[in-house]
Structure 1
Amino acid sequence: MGRILQFSDVHFGCEHKHACAAALDYAHATPNDLVLITGDITQKGFPDEFTAAGEWMRAMPEPRFVIVGNHDVPYWDAVARVLHPWRAFETATGFPAHDGQFLGNDVMVRGVVTARGWQARPNWSKGVIDLDQTRRAAEALRQAPIGALRILACHHPLIEMVGTPMTGDVKRGDEAALIFAEAGVDLIMTGHVHVPFAMPIPLADRCSYAVGCGTLSHR
């Protein structure tokens, strides 16, 4: 069984510097098979924030896997939000925003994008999941080696959490969670709500688990 270290919502630009330094120390001191960072590496998507986030991530042990969050768009650049919302993220991290995948000896991780550069609703911070991308990810994880831990990584929790400081409100999230459960996904690992959680998702004829990570920021 693989060991995953998850970090999320670092929000460079309002990051907690001591927490970020402690996370690096912990990652290097703790044996692990993968460092997983589940989005919101910046606060406003400014170039200096991406530079700082990239330096912090490259200081983490390898292998690493990073996915995008809703704060990782150029907040004040309307053109970039519409035409290429994830270009700065991909340049800073070296990871694709869409269809990223990691395969280790005992673990397989697939990423999907739940953030958007813009939406047809007032609050663009909420989540949206594309079911075509969901099915591609589910099929890839279904083909994972026998015995491997199958992990779906995205920024927003697919099923709404109760009592958290903020909500994900993911469009088509419940349907996507069922697709992943039917594909045999073991863990759906997310961030966004800034508090840690772990809860069963008793869907289909088996049980997956939703695992959420807290924040390394002052937000």
Structure 2
Amino acid sequence: MTRLIHLSDLHFGRTDPALAGPLLRTISRQEPTLVVISGDFTQRARPGQFEKAKAFVEAIEAPVLSVPGNHDTPLYNLFMRWLMPYARYKRAISRDLEPTFETPDLRVVGINTVNPFAWQSGKLSARHITRAMEHFGEDDGRLRVAVLHHPLQQPPTLDKPKTRGAKAALTALSAAGADLVLSGHLHNAQAVPFTQVPGVLFVQAGTALSTRTRGTPNTFNQIDLKPDGALSVTVWSATEGDGFLPGPPLSYEKGGTGWVLKGQEFASAPLRARL
């Protein structure tokens, strides 16, 4: 079975130090095919914060695919942010800002949505989407996953800038056969079909380690691809004294109208859409 572990918004420089060890042990026990980290490794992109993030990533025993977040570019050092925004990220995490990963059941492509000139808001260009579409290629039955930091859908009441180019990107990703989009940035967990393109499942990760939890526990996602093509999404939450514990899995199957939640657990599930 193909299993993804989805982490986001680690924010080294503002983490709960008691969580890193339990998180690494929990990930190891799940034996994932791939660990995805959708940005914001650091709080202020400082060298010491990146060193801690690097040590954490190197302790993960599975393959890791990551993309940068807006916090991974310097905020106050304008010279670096405008001329070499990813220098520290490349040294500590990965020189590839838009990596790819493949197995016989899976195609994953990272998309860099960071806009160094507008620190909070993300953006997607035609180049980003064209590259993702090329990587997905022809439909060969594999699960197609796009990974990006900024979400392509968010609640209208949320006071955060929306991602520029999100609507066009969703249309293009859907046309390219994307099944799943993983993102972070908002520090909350969700799993719901996109309103615009219900054939693409929107999975949002909370913050795995940061103290900036915004009223929710520290969480990460486990995504399992079943042999029949169904997906299950399980949110693991940090608890007092017990490390991370799983919530009830939500199972999705893809039909003619898009992804459909199986069963009646949706009404009380912790991943209920906030859109």
Q: Same fold (TM over 0.5)?
A: yes
Corresponding residue for residue 188 of structure 2: 195
**Distance (Å, rounded) in 2 between the aligned partners of 1:163 and 1:217:** 23
8 Å contact kept, 2:31–2:62: no
Residue 61 of structure 1 aligns with which residue?
61
Counterparts of 1:112-123 in structure 2 under 5 Å? 112-119=111-118
Aligned length: 211
- Deviations along 1:170-200, whole A, 9 cap, x unmatched? 0111110111011110100000000000110
The answer for the alignment partner of 1:210 in structure 2 is: 202
SS of equivalent residue, structure 2 residue 18: helix
Partner Cα separation in structure 2 for residue 96 and residue 140 of structure 1: 15
Which has more strand, going by share of residues?
2
2:36 partner SS:
strand
In 1, Cα distance between equivalents of 2:72 and 2:80 = 11
Are residues 87 and 142 of structure 1, via their aligned partners in 2, closer, same or farther at CA, if it must alter by over 3 Å? same
1:111 aligned partner = 110
**1:16/1:218 contact within 8 Å kept:** yes
Name the residue aligned to 2:36.
36
What SS is found at the alignment partner of 1:71? helix
Aligned to 1:72: 72
Deviation at 1:162, TM superposition (A): 5.0
Residues 104, 195 of structure 1: CA spacing in aligned structure 2 closer, same or farther, 3 A cutoff?
A: same
AA in 1 matched with 2:205: C
Alignment equivalent of 2:168, drawn from 155, 170, 175? 175
Question: Displacement of 1:202 after TM fit?
Answer: 5.3
Q: TM-score normalized by structure 2?
A: 0.72
Per-residue deviation, 1:4: 0.2
CA distance in 1, matches of 2:161, 2:23: 25
Larger-Rg structure: 2
Partner of 2:155: 161
Q: Which runs of 5+ in 1 are unaligned?
A: none
TM-score by length of 1: 0.90
The structural deviation recorded for 1:104 is: 2.0
Structure with higher helix content: 1
Shift of 1:143: 3.8
Offset of residue 19 of structure 1: 2.3
SS in 2 for 1:18: coil
Conserved in 1, the CA contact under 8 Å of 2:32 and 2:62? no
Residue by residue over 1:10-48, the C-alpha shift from the partner in whole angstroms, topping out at 9 and shown as x without a partner, is: 000001222222210111111210000000000000000
Q: Distance in 1 between matches of 2:109 and 2:147?
A: 6
Letter in 1 for 2:44: K
* Residues 156 and 168 in structure 1, CA contact (< 8 A), matched pair in contact too: no
Q: Is the 8 A contact 1:72 1:89 kept in 2?
A: yes
Q: Check the 8 A contact 1:50/1:92 in 2, yes or no.
A: yes
Change over 3 Å in CA distance of 1:160–1:104 after alignment to 2: same
Deviation per CA, 1:137-194, whole angstroms, max 9, x where unpaired?
12211346x2211100000111223566x53510111110111011110100000000
Q: Percent identity?
A: 29
Preserved contact between residue 111 and residue 147 of structure 2 (Cα < 8 Å): yes
User: 1:51–1:92: 8 Å Cα contact kept in structure 2?
Assistant: yes
Instruction: Provide the rounded CA distance (Å) in 1 between the counterparts of 2:138 and 2:86.
Output: 28
**Residue 127, structure 1, aligned to residue 122, structure 2:** yes
Secondary structure of 1:17's partner?
coil
Unpaired stretches in structure 2, ≥5 consecutive residues: 213-275
Tell me the amino acid that sits aligned with residue 102 of structure 1. Answer: F
Match in the other structure for 2:137: 142
